[in-house]
């Protein structure tokens, strides 16, 4: 283990370290802690310039209720869910199929196709912006959830295929070959043999791209314009303009916007990190 385990050092050093990590954490998250505190402040506090001290009265419940009743925040939150869930499902489904084909079948151009998926995943969004916007308008899907969902599925398929292909290639060939010898159809092999084996990868991938899609802001700006469809990232940004001085509400709104991916992260931390660091230990 590197650095040397702290247990081997002196007692004062140990004590210092154990305190230092929490102090460092506090400093690291200070900007966020401030937002959290602000979301619990009263208007009087804000007007008095009390942004960093302890709130003079705790308005946590009131502020969050206000956010949900006085603004379209609930609508935005719902929109985000309605956009993110189908997009995650679609991208993971398509890329599992594609990843399996690229990992376990030998055919000409498979490597080139794989390279295209990887490359596409890194391109700047702006090179896609005008054509994708036109395409979406042309299909009558501008300012609809479907327009955003379709784009997210298509774009995330690049990363997801890379991910699934690299996972599936590690699965043993013997199982698949044995089934083929038995005359099992390819679709059945995929459904009954491959799919159960990739379940951990599916979980990791899903939580990861849930966060990516949930946090998307650019495409929400480009493909959507009305409150009825707008996801929460674009929503909070729109609200910022309207409540210029109501920092406690913007703070509460930000916390609401951040919460779903944060909850997912803490609930499925192991999967999340496994997904994110794929390739960081080998290759």
The reply on whether position 217 binds another protein by CB under 8 A is: yes
Helix or strand (DSSP H, E) at 78: helix 73-104
Query: What region does 54 belong to: left with phi over 0, alpha with psi -120 to 50, or beta?
Result: beta
Give the nearest distance from C-beta 228 to another protein in angstroms.
20
| Residue that is written with structure tokens 């594609």 in the block | 98
Cis peptide before 3 (omega within 30 of 0): yes
Quick one: which of 117, 142, 163, 167 contacts another protein (CB under 8 A)? 117
Give the nearest distance from C-beta 239 to another protein in angstroms.
10
Alpha carbon of residue 112 to chain centroid:
28
- Binding part of the chain for another protein, among 61-69, 71-79, 97-105, 195-203 by CB under 8 A, reads 97-105
Give the nearest distance from C-beta 132 to another protein in angstroms.
5
Which residues have a Cβ under 8 Å from the Cβ of 142 and sit 6 or more positions away? 133, 136, 223
Q: What is the rounded distance in angstroms from the CA atom of residue 35 to the CA atom of residue 31?
A: 7
Give the nearest distance from C-beta 115 to another protein in angstroms.
5
Name which of 59 and 260 has its Cβ closer to another protein: 260
Footprint of another protein on residues 25-84 (CB under 8 A)?
25, 28-32, 34-35, 38, 49, 51-52
Which residues have a Cβ under 8 Å from the Cβ of 222 and sit 6 or more positions away? 129, 132, 133
Which x/- pattern over 153-192 shows residues binding another protein (rule: CB under 8 A)?
xxx-xx--x-----------x---x--xx---xx---x--
Name which of 124 and 170 has its Cβ closer to another protein: 124
The reply on whether position 101 binds another protein by CB under 8 A is: yes
Q: What is the rounded distance in angstroms from the CA atom of residue 103 to the CA atom of residue 107?
A: 10
List phi, psi (to 5°) of 254.
Answer: -60, -40
Give the nearest distance from C-beta 121 to another protein in angstroms.
8
List phi, psi (to 5°) of 85.
Answer: -60, -55
Name which of 74 and 262 has its Cβ closer to another protein: 262
Q: What is the rounded distance in angstroms from the CA atom of residue 71 to the CA atom of residue 66?
A: 8
Number of residues that bind another protein (CB under 8 A): 101
The reply on whether position 219 binds another protein by CB under 8 A is: no
Q: Nearest 5°: CA angle at 238, between 47 and 151?
A: 150
Q: What is the rounded distance in angstroms from the CA atom of residue 55 to the CA atom of residue 269?
A: 32
Footprint of another protein on residues 223-282 (CB under 8 A)?
233-234, 236-237, 240, 247, 250, 254, 257-258, 261-262, 265-266, 269, 273, 276-277, 279-282
- Binding part of the chain for another protein, among 59-67, 71-79, 94-102, 198-206 by CB under 8 A, reads 94-102
The reply on whether position 132 binds another protein by CB under 8 A is: yes
């Amino acid at each position: 283990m590197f650095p040397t385990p702290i247990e081997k050092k002196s007692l004062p050093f140990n004590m210092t370290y154990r305190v230092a990590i929490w102090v460092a954490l506090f400093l690291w998250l200070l900007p966020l802690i401030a937002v959290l505190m602000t979301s619990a402040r009263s208007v009087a506090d804000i007007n008095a310039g009390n942004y960093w001290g302890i709130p003079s009265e705790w308005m946590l419940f009131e502020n969050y209720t206000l956010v949900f009743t006085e603004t379209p925040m609930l609508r935005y939150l719902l929109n985000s869910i309605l956009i993110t869930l189908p997009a995650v499902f679609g991208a993971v489904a398509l890329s599992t199929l594609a990843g399996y084909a690229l990992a376990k079948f030998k055919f000409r151009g498979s490597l080139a196709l794989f390279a295209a998926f990887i490359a596409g995943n890194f391109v700047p969004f702006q090179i896609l912006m005008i054509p994708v916007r036109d395409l979406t308008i042309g299909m009558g899907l501008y300012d609809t959830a479907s327009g955003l969902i379709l784009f997210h599925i298509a774009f995330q398929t690049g990363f997801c295929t890379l991910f699934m292909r690299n996972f599936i290639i590690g699965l043993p060939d013997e199982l698949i070959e044995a089934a083929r010898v038995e005359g099992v159809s390819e679709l059945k092999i995929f459904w009954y043999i491959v799919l159960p084996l990739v379940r951990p990868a599916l979980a990791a991938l899903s939580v990861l791209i849930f966060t990516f899609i949930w946090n998307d802001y650019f495409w929400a700006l480009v493909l959507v314009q009305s409150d009825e469809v707008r996801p929460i990232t674009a929503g909070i940004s729109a609200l910022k303009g309207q409540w210029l001085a109501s920092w406690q509400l913007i703070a509460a709104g930000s916390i609401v916007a951040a919460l779903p991916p944060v909850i997912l992260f803490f609930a499925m931390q192991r999967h999340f990190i496994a997904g994110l660091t794929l390739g960081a230990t080998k290759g």
